[in-house]
Amino acid sequence: MSDPNFLKSYPEHVAQLRKSMPESVALEKAVGGDFATVGKLEKSLLFSLGLPADGVLVDVGCGSGRLAVQLRDLSGLHYLGTDIVPELLQQARKLCQRPDWRFVLTNGTEIPCEAESADMVCFFSVFTHLTHEDTFRYLASASRVLKPGGKIVFSFLEFRIDSHWEVFDGSVRNGNPGAHLDQFIDRDGIVAWARHLGLDMVSFFDGDKPHIPIEGEVEWENGLVMRGVGNLGQSVAVLSVPNKSRREAGPVAAAFST
């Protein structure tokens, strides 16, 4: 049975990886395989969705720097990465060598960032391991820290994508108590969350269909090469905070407290 307490199950998952393989490999595997390829795709996705090169990005569940290391040469970008595992944050700092960036240890769903200060908040392979309640809490926190017009970008698993079934099947077969939770989310649920938080539902992208513009090509560890356009495998949802007048007139995430 999977453990829904991510504050307990994820650090245990990382600790087990560190025992079973070399440290640097374990810290990469902790955020999933294809460290460089996925990071490049994530970077391309965010910029295709309007992240300013001199903007403010909050990367929740930044891990060992899979996305951050792809952004480190952007001197004007302001970056905050959060995670619940200190060893992952330490590795991200080491890889990025950006003393002006913040890598912050957290222990819940609050985002340590000032209200209305960020252009974009991303959650890659985060909600795939949380209960729906914790996901909603994180979305509320993200809404609070975003500027009017700012965007939330997150990846998720869903049953409508055939390739995601193997993840669910693996969870069924793994009956070990305390196993790392693999969570599926329905699009209707995401739309409902957005509505209750006063957010605009911008778009969905199927995980198995190319939608991310990329320069040149990227190659996955299994030999798959993507040229010109790619996809993460997980589906992607994009939400946005309304402009100031609409935000003041309607429901706002700031009204939700944990």
pLDDT tens-digit series, residues 134-160: 999 999 999 999 999 999 999 999 999
* 30, part of any domain: yes
- pLDDT confidence of residue 253: 40
Q: Which residues of the chain have pLDDT under 70?
A: 1-4, 6, 8, 13, 29, 177-178, 245-258
Domain that holds residue 125: 2-250
- pLDDT confidence of residue 177: 64
* 91, part of any domain: yes
- pLDDT confidence of residue 15: 78
* 232, part of any domain: yes
* 96, part of any domain: yes
- Indicate the pTM of the whole model: 0.89
The CATH number of residue 95's host domain is 3.40.50.150
* 256, part of any domain: no
* 147, part of any domain: yes
* 257, part of any domain: no
CB 199 within 8 A of CB 240: yes
Total number of domains in the chain:
1
Nearest residue to 171 (alpha-carbon basis) of 112, 118, 128: 128
